């Protein structure tokens, strides 16, 4: 039986401390595109060995607009409620993200329009 997921068409990786996020565009057998978002988190055992826990979301194109609007709304809410705390937390973890915005900030430049 062929594996359900097809090869990636387009991929990006976002490293954030112990977490890594994989954004992959894939193609269905019918030729439609969909997006998978995978969170992978590294856990280290007492003996020094490690393992990863992964969580995956499948997002289909008919849901992109509603997903984007809801994500932006939720992020705006968090920044309105806890913005100063979040900014302070991020400044304490500079270098955790692979990519940063120009100007020295530590926020990752992710545009949901690119999804």
Q: How far apart are the first and last CA of the chain?
A: 30
Give domain limits for the chain: 8-94
Q: What is the mean pLDDT of residues 48-61?
A: 93
pTM reported for the whole predicted model:
0.64
CB 34 within 8 A of CB 60: yes
Average pLDDT, the chain: 79
SS3 86: helix
Work out whether strand 19-27 and strand 50-60 pair parallel, antiparallel, or are unpaired.
unpaired
* Annotation: CATH topology of 8-94: Nuclear Transport Factor 2; Chain: A, (3.10.450)
């Amino acid at each position: 039986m062929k594996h359900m997921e097809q090869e990636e068409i387009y991929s990006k990786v976002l490293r954030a401390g112990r977490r890594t996020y994989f954004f992959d565009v894939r193609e269905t057998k019918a030729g439609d595109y969909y997006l998978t978002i995978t969170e992978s988190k590294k856990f280290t055992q007492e003996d020094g060995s490690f393992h990863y826990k992964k969580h995956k979301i499948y997002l289909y194109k008919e849901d992109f607009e509603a997903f984007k609007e809801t994500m932006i709304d939720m992020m705006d809410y968090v920044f309105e409620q806890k913005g100063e705390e979040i900014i302070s937390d991020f400044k304490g973890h500079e270098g955790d993200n692979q990519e940063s915005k120009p100007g020295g900030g530590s926020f990752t430049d992710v545009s949901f329009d690119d999804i």
